[in-house]
């Protein structure tokens, strides 16, 4: 079994205690992660602080180091992808893709400019807007896409000249520790530090005096706590939080075609995607056909050992999430919902849930109103588009949404009415390094990616130059 260590100031460090990491496909042990102490965290923050001035000083060196880090990661993609599958349960091909995605994101930010802007000039003065790095950034990531979501933080943070202390979820720390070691091989010591531990480590980070910014991806409940602790020290925050994305199907759709797209988005990564479709609204006239088409796809999906090539869907990633998904299904069945496909756990070890499609569901049921974050999809009929839009916008979640129609213009007009950070027409969930991504209302504060994401790792300095 690989020996995993904290990464502090460019050095591996073991800890007196470790955390067991479970393989969700077997229920067995995937590995053991170091359990960072407060003193270790202080050292990581101090290392990041020491590394900051010289890292911030040389932009060309930063771009070059980031490109080298991305290349090193690409070379290690299969090894790190295998670790990711063993702790997270996603199919191996998807895990390796995720590692390549990180390299792509880092390469994108390495090449992105952070221009100085001249906003005024006359014979007596020039006024410029300069972007300065903030210092140390604390980055806290969740378990569903541990690597790519960490890269959305560390790539722009490092590109802008900050140094980083990164903490993965206690459910998936191993692949991040392995990734950190590979990346750090191309970076000066202390520029990127990786610490693993329990949830309390996240709380220590967000109350720690050193970081000037907390970049957090996770649940709404934890996001609130992070915002509260950050406020005490006026640390900047980016919060990427939960979602309950609706897909609204219009009355002119080709049912089979749309069912393919909706199924793919809703069940990708076994439904554990911040922007997957979490509820579908279908015109009453088409409801039975859509339910049947989705159920057919759910029944045909190959669920099983994520290390096997033919597997399309792996297990739910951890025990608490497995319990939550099963509870939500059970609750909805108790309220009169019908599982047209799936409806519960699959036999055998591991946290496997049968891909579940529910009909006879309504707004007001927890499986519709809350974020299920698992392989279960409620399909809700509607008769009036304005009314459904009011219901959708009545939610405090506002991460993503989609509209599906044979008429893309009509769909776009409808999508623009949705209160959400990203809206898609005839697809759902595609994310790109150059496109800003973030949530409105409870789904987040700020955006990641693109020049907007990069700018969020800087402070503005307005430079007034008298001539
Ligand atoms: P979580 O909030 O339980 O944990 C996220 C991270 O926060 C973990 O690293 C955890 O250890 C840490 N943490 C826990 N308590 C903390 C505290 N008090 N202070 C600081 N850090 C703390 O979320 P999760 O279960 O790991 O992830 C699933 C959630 O993340 C879902 O709600 C999902 O929608 C959301 N998510 C959002 C996005 C997005 O970009 N908007 C992307 C992926 C996942």
Q: How far is the CA of 142 from the centre of ligand 1 (A)?
A: 5
pLDDT of amino acid 348: 87
Residue nearest to atom 26 of ligand 1 (CA): 142
> Which tokens sit at 443?
């789904």
pLDDT of amino acid 447: 98
State CA 93 to chain mean position distance: 18
pLDDT band at 91 (very low <50, low <70, confident <90, very high): very high
> Which tokens sit at 373?
């974050």
> Which tokens sit at 11?
């050095």
Residues labelled catalytic: 240
- Indicate whether residue 397 lines ligand 1 (CB < 6 A): no
For 172-203, the pLDDT digits (tens) are 999 999 999 999 999 999 999 999 999 999 99
pLDDT of amino acid 21: 98
Q: How far is the CA of 205 from the centre of ligand 1 (A)?
A: 14
Check whether 10 has a pLDDT greater than 80.
yes
Q: How far is the CA of 195 from the centre of ligand 1 (A)?
A: 16
Check whether 5 has a pLDDT greater than 70.
yes
User: What is the number of the ligand 1 atom nearest to the C-alpha of 167?
Assistant: 9
Q: Set out the domains of the chain in order of their start, with CATH numbers.
A: 6-241+441-466 (3.40.605.10), 245-425 (3.40.309.10)
- Indicate whether residue 146 lines ligand 1 (CB < 6 A): no
pLDDT of amino acid 133: 98
Residue nearest to atom 11 of ligand 1 (CA): 199
**DSSP per-residue codes, 399-414:** SEEEEE-S-HHHHHHH
User: What is the number of the ligand 1 atom nearest to the C-alpha of 169?
Assistant: 9
In order of 36, 157, 393, 444, the CA distances from 222 in angstroms are 20, 22, 23, 11
- Indicate whether residue 399 lines ligand 1 (CB < 6 A): yes
For 320-363, the pLDDT digits (tens) are 999 999 999 999 999 999 999 999 999 989 999 999 999 999 99
- Indicate whether residue 207 lines ligand 1 (CB < 6 A): no
DSSP state of 346: P
Which of 145, 196, 222 for mutating ligand 1's site (highest number of atoms within 8 Å of CB)? Answer: 222
- Indicate whether residue 271 lines ligand 1 (CB < 6 A): no
State residue 354 phi and psi, 5-degree precision. -65, 135
> Could you tell me which residues come within 8 angstroms of residue 172 by beta carbon, excluding any fewer than 6 positions away?
21, 84, 87, 88, 143, 146, 317
For range 49-63, the mean pLDDT: 98
Check whether 2 has a pLDDT greater than 80.
no
Which of 101, 177, 218, 272 for mutating ligand 1's site (highest number of atoms within 8 Å of CB)? Answer: 218
User: What is the number of the ligand 1 atom nearest to the C-alpha of 141?
Assistant: 9
| Other C-beta atoms lying within 10 Å of the C-beta of residue 127 | 14
Q: How far is the CA of 39 from the centre of ligand 1 (A)?
A: 24
Residue nearest to atom 19 of ligand 1 (CA): 203
- Indicate whether residue 144 lines ligand 1 (CB < 6 A): yes
pLDDT band at 438 (very low <50, low <70, confident <90, very high): very high
Distance CA 93, CA 310 (A): 10
- Gap between the terminal Cα atoms of the chain: 65
Strands, DSSP E only, in 241-388? 246-249, 279-283, 338-341, 356-359, 376-382
Q: How far is the CA of 350 from the centre of ligand 1 (A)?
A: 22
Give the relative orientation of helices 92-111 and 173-184 as an angle to the nearest 10 degrees.
40
In order of 101, 264, 365, the CA distances from 360 in angstroms are 39, 22, 10
R_g of the chain, CA atoms, integer Å: 23
For range 110-127, the mean pLDDT: 97
Three-class DSSP category at 183: helix
- Indicate whether residue 149 lines ligand 1 (CB < 6 A): yes
Strand-pairing partners, residue 249, are: 404
- Indicate whether residue 211 lines ligand 1 (CB < 6 A): no
- 254 close to 405: Cβ distance less than 8 angstroms: no
> Could you tell me which residues come within 8 angstroms of residue 409 by beta carbon, excluding any fewer than 6 positions away?
none
Which of 33, 41, 201, 219 for mutating ligand 1's site (highest number of atoms within 8 Å of CB)? Answer: 219
- Indicate whether residue 274 lines ligand 1 (CB < 6 A): yes
Q: How far is the CA of 439 from the centre of ligand 1 (A)?
A: 14
Residue nearest to atom 15 of ligand 1 (CA): 199
Distance CA 392, CA 419 (A): 8
Q: How far is the CA of 104 from the centre of ligand 1 (A)?
A: 23
What integer best gives the mean pLDDT of the chain? Answer: 97
In order of 13, 185, 205, 451, the CA distances from 10 in angstroms are 10, 8, 19, 29
- Indicate whether residue 170 lines ligand 1 (CB < 6 A): yes
- 128 close to 462: Cβ distance less than 8 angstroms: yes
Q: How far is the CA of 152 from the centre of ligand 1 (A)?
A: 14
For 252-279, the pLDDT digits (tens) are 999 999 999 999 999 999 999 999 999 9
pLDDT of amino acid 182: 98
Give the relative orientation of helices 146-159 and 59-75 as an angle to the nearest 10 degrees.
160
pLDDT band at 1 (very low <50, low <70, confident <90, very high): low
For 374-422, the pLDDT digits (tens) are 999 999 999 999 999 999 999 999 999 999 999 999 999 999 999 999 9
- Indicate whether residue 242 lines ligand 1 (CB < 6 A): yes
């Amino acid at each position: 079994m690989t020996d995993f260590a904290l990464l502090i100031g460019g050095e591996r460090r073991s800890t007196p205690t470790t955390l067991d990491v479970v393989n969700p496909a077997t229920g067995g042990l995937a590995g053991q992660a170091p359990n960072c102490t407060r003193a270790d965290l202080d050292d990581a923050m101090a290392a990041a602080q020491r590394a900051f001035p010289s890292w911030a000083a040389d932009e060309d060196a930063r771009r070059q180091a980031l490109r080298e880090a991305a290349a090193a990661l690409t070379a290690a993609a299969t090894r790190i992808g295998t670790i990711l599958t063993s702790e997270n349960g996603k199919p191996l091909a998807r895990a390796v893709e995720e590692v390549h995605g990180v390299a792509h994101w880092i390469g994108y930010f390495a090449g992105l400019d952070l221009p100085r802007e001249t906003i005024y000039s006359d014979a007596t003065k020039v006024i410029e807007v300069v972007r300065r790095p903030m210092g140390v950034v604390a980055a806290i990531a969740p378990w569903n896409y541990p690597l790519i979501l960490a890269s959305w933080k560390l790539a722009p943070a490092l590109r802008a000249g900050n140094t980083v202390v990164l903490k993965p979820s206690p459910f998936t720390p191993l692949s991040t520790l392995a990734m950190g070691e590979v990346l750090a091989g191309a970076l000066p010591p202390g520029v990127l530090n990786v610490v693993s531990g329990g949830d309390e480590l996240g709380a220590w980070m967000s109350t720690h005096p050193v970081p000037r910014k907390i970049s957090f991806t996770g649940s709404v409940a934890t996001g609130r706590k992070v915002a509260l602790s950050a406020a005490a020290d006026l640390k900047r925050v980016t919060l990427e939080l939960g979602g309950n994305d609706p897909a609204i199907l219009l009355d002119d759709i080709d049912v089979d075609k749309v069912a393919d797209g909706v199924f793919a988005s809703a069940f990708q990564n076994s439904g554990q995607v911040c922007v997957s479709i979490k509820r579908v609204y279908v015109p009453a006239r088409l409801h039975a056909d859509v339910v049947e088409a989705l159920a057919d796809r759910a029944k045909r999906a190959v669920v099983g050992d994520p290390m096997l090539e033919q597997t399309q869907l792996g297990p739910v990633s951890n025990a608490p999430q497995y319990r939550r998904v099963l509870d939500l299904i059970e609750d909805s069945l108790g309220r009169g919902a019908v599982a047209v496909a799936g409806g519960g756990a699959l036999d055998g070890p591991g946290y496997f849930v049968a891909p579940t499609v529910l009909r006879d569901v309504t707004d007001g049921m927890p499986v519709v109103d809350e974020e299920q974050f698992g392989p279960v999809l409620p399909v809700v009929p509607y008769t009036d588009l304005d009314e459904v839009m009011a219901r959708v916008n009545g939610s405090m979640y506002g991460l993503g949404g989609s509209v599906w129609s044979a008429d893309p213009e009509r769909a776009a007009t409808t999508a623009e009415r949705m209160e959400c950070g990203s809206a898609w027409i005839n697809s759902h969930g595609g994310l790109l390094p150059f496109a800003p991504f973030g949530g409105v209302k409870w789904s987040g504060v700020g955006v990641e990616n693109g020049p907007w994401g990069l700018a969020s790792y800087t402070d503005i300095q307005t430079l007034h130059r008298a001539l």
